[in-house]
Amino acid sequence: MKKTLVFAMAMALGVSATAFAANPFSDLPAGHWAYASVAKLAAAGVVDGYPDGTFKGDKTMTRYEMAQIVAKALAKGAIGADDKLVGEFADELDNLGVRVAKLEKNADNVKITGNVRLSYKDSQYDSLGVDGAHDARLRTRLFLTGEVNDNWHYVSLLENNQRFAKSGIADHEAGDDGTAFDRAYLEGNLGKNVKITAGRWNDTIAEGNVYDDRVDGIKAEFGKKVKLTAVYGKMANSQQNLYGNATGAVADKYYRVGLGGTFGGLGLEANYIKADQVTAMGQANDDDKIWTIGANYDINKFNIGAMYLKGSNDTIDALDGSQTGWVAKLGYAGAQASKPNSWGVYAKYYNQGASTVIAHTMNGDYGVFNDGQGFKGYMVGANYAVAKNMVAGVEYYDLKSKGDSDVTAKTIWSQLVVTF
């Protein structure tokens, strides 16, 4: 294909032969009949020439070279997808697109995403001898995902918290509370049906009713429709007292085995967890063994779920504390960050013995019930996408001790999350 066809290309793009543009090619004299057309196409980024600064107008082009010109013209809107040139070079454009997609993937090996969450928490306690707690926080998270190859990637999380609260319990003034790597792990596949996660990551156990926080460990997941999960590691989070001060890790080494699957709208999951030196909910550095079984059912926009939990801990047993628990939930729809004006409502009821909890996912102040008996009560919540990638939410908790019903904790939690 001769480059004299560039003139025809210029006509197809609506470029005037008398249009003026600076000459970018050393071998194209100003008096050449195609000078204006080629110069205009070069200025528009449709033709590039060769690295030595020449155009080589008499050289035969390959169909791929012509397809590149068509692709650039298509990208710049000079021609439409229904243009005859696009149809003529359809195969070359398709192959070119595949190659470009691979180049773009390799050129962007590290992807950065994140979110900013502004939250406010107000808790009131009865029979605890304190006035209450307030916590206003701005949390910023940056996720960095690096592609190692087609099967493996590395994920890290940088987190910064700015806290603003002043009450009878918490006393935090505005300022930088530190930035740290909250997570750093390698994730990938071994074969077709084995997924591995290793490093510092977040383990959500039994939908967060048992644990939802950082761990240092390794996880292997086997299967797809029916999944077997095995985890070994150390629970890497720390618990806080009513004054917001860290008082040590909630547990040490642990392992768990889980089995679950989804069948139509029905989801089932069972877990066994053994954690060493658990200190949460009045468990005094004793080992905790927990069994859970749960079910969720989706019908239209509704979600219905229930879970049964049973724990065994020497301290709780000695206190004659509750060893069993159950959680029920009901939800409708839900806000989606990508869909402005989407919304959802949800509610849960908790009745959990102390030995069934290590680090709960809830935003209510369950940690004040530290007598080894556990807690019960309900929560209601709602969320709404106020704009694309901006979701607001509010939750209300009314909880009480299973041992002394006069000890209560009522919490209002609100937040605005901006994702990018």
Residues of the chain with CATH 2.40.160.10: 110-419
Strands (E), 206-341: 211-222, 226-235, 238-240, 246-249, 253-263, 266-278, 286-299, 302-313, 324-333
Maximum average pLDDT range among 23-32, 121-130, 209-218: 209-218
Q: Give percent of the chain with pLDDT exceeding 90.
A: 48
Is the four-CA dihedral 308, 309, 310, 316 of positive or negative sign?
negative
Question: How many other CB atoms are there within 10 angstroms of residue 50's CB atom?
Answer: 11
Q: Which two tokens stand for residue 1?
A: 């294909």
Q: Which two tokens stand for residue 345?
A: 């409502």
Q: Is the predicted pLDDT of residue 4 greater than 50, yes or no?
A: no
Residue 290, Cβ density class (10 Å: 0-12 exposed, 13-18 middle, ≥19 buried): buried
Domain at 110-419, CATH homologous superfamily? Porin (2.40.160.10)
Quick one: CA torsion of 8, 13, 18, 19, rounded to 10 degrees? -140
Q: Give 64-94 pLDDT, tens digit per residue.
A: 677 777 777 766 666 666 666 666 666 766 6
For residue 80, the SS3 value is coil
Query: Is the CB of residue 19 less than 8 Å from the CB of residue 36?
Result: yes
Beta-strand relationship, 343-352 and 375-387: antiparallel
pLDDT in the model for residue 181: 81
Q: Give 330-361 pLDDT, tens digit per residue.
A: 999 999 999 999 999 999 999 999 999 999 99
pTM over 0.85: no
Tell me how far apart the alpha carbons of residues 186 and 146 are, in angstroms, rounded to a whole number: 9
For residue 151, the SS3 value is coil
Q: What is the DSSP string of 70-134?
A: HHHHHHTTSS-TT-HHHHHTHHHHHHHHHHHHHHHHHHT-EEEEEEEEEEEEEEEEESSS---EE
For residue 86, the SS3 value is helix
Q: Give 54-63 pLDDT, tens digit per residue.
A: 666 666 667 6
Q: What is the mean pLDDT of the chain?
A: 81
